[in-house]
A and B are shown apart, each in its own frame.
Chain A
Amino acid sequence: LAKTTQPISMDSYEGQEVNITCSHNNIATNDYITWYQQFPSQGPRFIIQGYKTKVTNEVASLFIPADRKSSTLSLPRVSLSDTAVYYCLGRMDSSYKLIFGSGTRLLVRP
Chain B
Amino acid sequence: DGGITQSPKYLFRKEGQNVTLSCEQNLNHDAMYWYRQDPGQGLRLIYYSQIVNDFQKGDIAEGYSVSREKKESFPLTVTSAQKNPTAFYLCASSNPGQETQYFGPGTRLLVL
Question: What is the interface of chain A, defined by CB distance below 8 A to chain B?
Answer: 31-34, 41-46, 49, 87, 89-91, 96-98, 100-103
Q: From B50, which residue of chain A is reached at the shortest CB distance? A: A96
List residues of B (75-112) whose CB comes within 8 Å of A's CBs.
88, 90, 92, 96-97, 99-106, 108
Assess whether A49 is in contact with B42, with CB atoms less than 8 Å apart.
no
Determine whether the beta carbon of B106 is less than 8 Å from that of A100: no
7 further A-B contacts with Cβ under 8 Å, apart from A33-B99, A96-B96, A97-B45, are A41-B88, A41-B108, A45-B103, A87-B42, A96-B50, A96-B97, A98-B45
| Residues A43 and B31 in contact in the complex (CB < 8 Å), given A49-B100, A100-B43 | no
Q: Which of B88, B96, B101, B102 meets A98, CB within 8 Å?
A: B101
Given A34-B100, A89-B99, check contact A43 B106 (CB 8 Å).
Answer: yes
Q: B56 — which chain A residues lie within 8 A by C-beta?
A: 96
* Given A44-B103, A101-B42, A96 and B48 contact (CB-CB distance below 8 Å): yes
Q: Which chain B residues lie closer than 8 Å to A45 at the CB level?
A: 103
**What's the interface size class on B, roughly?**
20 to 34
Task: Tell which of B48, B88, B97, B106 touches A97, judged by Cβ atoms closer than 8 Å.
Answer: B48
The chain B residues found within 8 Å of chain A, CB to CB, are 4, 31, 35, 40-45, 48, 50, 56, 58-59, 88, 90, 92, 96-97, 99-106, 108
